[in-house]
Amino acid sequence: MSTIQQAAEALQLAGQKVNPQYRPGYHIAAPANWINDPNGMVQFNGEYHVFYQHHPYDEHWGPMHWGHVKSKDLVHWEHCPIALAPGDVCDRDGCFSGSAVDDNGVLTLIYTGHHYTDREKDLFTQNQNIAVSRDGITFDKYGANPVIAEPPADSAHHFRDPKVWKHNDTWYMVLGNATPDGHGRVILYHSPDLREWTYDGVLAASDGTLGFMWECPDFFELDGRHVLLFSPQGMEREQDRYLNLFQTGYLVGDYDYATNNFSHGEFREMDHGHDFYAVQTLLDEHGRRIAIGWMDMWESDMPTKAHGWAGALTLPRVLNLDNEGRLLMNPVEEMKLLRRDHYLLGEGFTLTGRRHEAITESLLEIHVVFDLTNSQSDKVGLTVHSGTHDETVIMYDIAAGQLILDASKSGKPQDGIRIAPLQHNGTLALRIFLDRSSIEVFANDGLATLTSRIYPTGGTTGLELCAIGKETHVQEWNCWTLEDIWNNADSTDEAASSEPETTSSK
């Protein structure tokens, strides 16, 4: 029996034991056991594919496989067979993160092979490999792997997470890397054929303040500028910034392919919630740059491990830059396909104090717009699961210009508060997606986002608007229930034979 078949059988058995209490209704998650980074986001043969780091044998991190889902519309996903399993000479101890490209009709995965030299001391080597498929489901590893056997001579052993794209007729690859003295950086290679690679040098590097290792890089052109996404490890907290163990952020600048010169501005965080890491993007056929991140964080509490699974991915988000070079993130338009029942909770009214609505569903999209032009309030906001012991509060401090998410009563009692800077221009527009164990907040057309896992224990899913101080005008307050795309989930050991059932939105 192959390693892929063994993993599939283990996953099928594990799926039968999963407790569904916190299972996502419309986010990507494995049928059972552990997942982390999204990998290999690509369009191939008219479908979106997302792979992810996966341990099919346990709800904890372990030897990394590549899990796999696909979709025709970015919101209705189906599980596919596991794409990659470790154990070959090139990837003995793990098929780590990477990317995917369509190479003239051949879906090609580019990934890091992981090899322990001393597991107890966490000493290892890493290399880069490829695997190919013509049907987008079954993959064969390249017989001459690795395609890059070792890092440059001036590197530490950290050498992983290849992201590959094509510019003109040449393939390019960025990799997460570190120097021997502990400075994170991103390095660049190029290739004519995805198999023979030439090292071009350092694309960007830490000056000593941006961590000891830069994971999961992604580099692309967006709205006339170039953007480098990466996840630095080892940054120190600075007041309300860098509050998670590891961060994910970006640099914006101008890039010259001829000289490999990337001149850029300051590092900025992408999302200020508890659980957002290792983001990866794809450029789809509509010209949209779409990002998905891991919706968890290393060394955080994960109550779902006791339920037989751990880890999920964020909603797909469209990226844009504003005039000040700030990255905007907004849910893809296709999220509206999941809308079911619509509740107009209020329109054009004055809010003083609190207003409660008893919405009992677990899967919700909420939209509220506060008019702050003549507001007399100190703070305005929204509470989900209000009236229970599981409240999650989204509050905007008008004077301070801070959007605050407080999950201290919904699964994060020790470190429950996250803060995003947000200056308003007379309006606070919140678009919130609530799933069984997550909340994603998009403010003022994606100028600020907060993504966190939450773990309500039960009770009513009430919604409550509040205006602290004096009155504030509310332009609109809407809510939609959302479809549970996994309600009729496909088999865990083979690809589904048809698309998930859908109904028309209201």
The question of whether 169 is a catalytic residue gets the answer no
Query: What stretches of 295-416 adopt beta strand conformation (E)?
Result: 309-310, 317-321, 327-331, 339-357, 364-371, 377-386, 392-397, 402-406
Query: Is residue 210 a contact partner of residue 235, using CB atoms and an 8 Å limit?
Result: yes
CA–CA separation, 195 and 257 (whole Å):
20
Q: Which two tokens stand for residue 392?
A: 């999650």
SS3 string, 272-312, reads CCCCCEEEEEEECCCCCEEEEEECCCCCCCCHHHHHCEECC
| Helix (H) or strand (E) segment spanning residue 435 | strand 427-435
Amino acid in the structure at residue 348: G
- The residue count of the chain comes to 506
Give the β-pairing of 317-321 and 427-435.
unpaired
Give the β-pairing of 77-79 and 198-205.
unpaired
Q: Find tokens 């590891």 and name the residue.
A: 246
Phi-psi region of 270 (alpha: psi -120 to 50; beta: other; left: phi over 0): alpha
Judged on CB neighbours under 10 Å (0-12, 13-18, 19+), 118 is: exposed
Q: Tell me the sheet residues that pair with 353.
A: 467
Query: Is residue 451 a contact partner of residue 295, using CB atoms and an 8 Å limit?
Result: yes
Query: Is residue 321 a contact partner of residue 268, using CB atoms and an 8 Å limit?
Result: no
Q: Find tokens 């993959």 and name the residue.
A: 139
CA–CA separation, 433 and 381 (whole Å):
15
SS3 string, 444-483, reads CCCCEEEEEECCCCCCCCEEEEEEEEEEEEEEEEEEEEEC
| DSSP for residue 194 | S
Residue 340, classed as helix, strand or coil, is strand
- The catalytically annotated residue of 37, 271, 435, 484 is 37
- The residues annotated with a catalytic role in the active site are 37
